[in-house]
Amino acid sequence: QTLDALLGDKLTAFAPNTTGIPYGTGKEAEIIKQLFDLGVLFDNLADLDEVRNSFAQNCMFELGYRKLALSEADVLNDCFDTAITLIYRGVYKREQFSYLMTGIKAFKAFSFNSSYSLEEAIRSSAKVAYLVQLLKAGKRSHEKFRETIDLRDVNIINPSWSKLNKLKKTDPEAFFYLFNALKLIEQ
């Protein structure tokens, strides 16, 4: 299995309300492990079509296995919603955020990556949000963050999301991917 196919597979597992590890089962660290893996795999993304095909295949299998009358779009929306829940730090969907925070703490305790923090989870979540919107929009290429990108004049204008502009100061990479995700939603 290629890294891009694995990325599609992992995305299916990062959907706690549909095809992923559900909230409230004591496996919140598993949800965060999927998020961690997605962040790492996204950095090596080469072929969106391969991600899309892998996601579709795994998604249909999981939906069938669970006997859920849902679509790929429902699962992608679940992934996006879960990512946004973390990015908003508890302001949105407080109970789910609490489960995700429990997962981050548990993941840190049982993982080689004992430094994985909420900030890093937010960065991974921004990558997931962008990946979801790329797949939903049928895109075949993506923008990649570089330290040299000047974000000074880049702002989220939509009032529904504008609170997230503060990410630009704390984590330019997370802001970059979130901005690009939201840009795809607006198109």
- Domain ranges (residues) in the chain: 3-140
pLDDT at residue number 109: 82
Contact 36/28 with Cβ under 8 angstroms? no
**In whole angstroms, how far apart are CA 159 and each of 81, 86, 155, 166?**
18, 19, 11, 13
The per-residue DSSP string of the chain comes to --HHHHHHHHHHHS-TTTTSPPTTSS-HHHHHHHHHHHHHHHTT---HHHHHHHHHHHHHHHHHHTT----HHHHHHHHHHHHHHHHTTTSSSHHHHHHHHHHHHHHHHTSS-TT--HHHHHHHHHHHHHHHHHHHTT-S------TT---TT-----TTTGGGGGHHHH-HHHHHHHHHHHHHHH-
Terminal-to-terminal C-alpha distance of the chain? 33
Contact 92/121 with Cβ under 8 angstroms? no
Q: Name residues whose C-beta falls within 8 Å of residue 105's C-beta, 6 or more positions apart in sequence.
A: none
One digit per residue, the tens of pLDDT, for the chain of length 187 reads 899 999 999 999 999 999 999 999 999 999 999 999 999 999 999 999 999 999 999 999 999 999 999 999 999 999 999 999 999 998 889 999 999 999 999 998 877 767 889 999 999 999 999 999 999 999 999 999 988 888 989 999 988 888 899 999 999 999 999 999 999 998 8
**In whole angstroms, how far apart are CA 144 and each of 1, 76, 141?**
23, 21, 10
pLDDT at residue number 113: 60
pLDDT at residue number 149: 86
pLDDT at residue number 147: 84
Q: Is 154 exposed, middle or buried (0-12, 13-18, 19+ CB in 10 A)?
A: middle
**The pair of three-digit structure tokens given for residue 1, joined into one six-digit string:** 């299995």
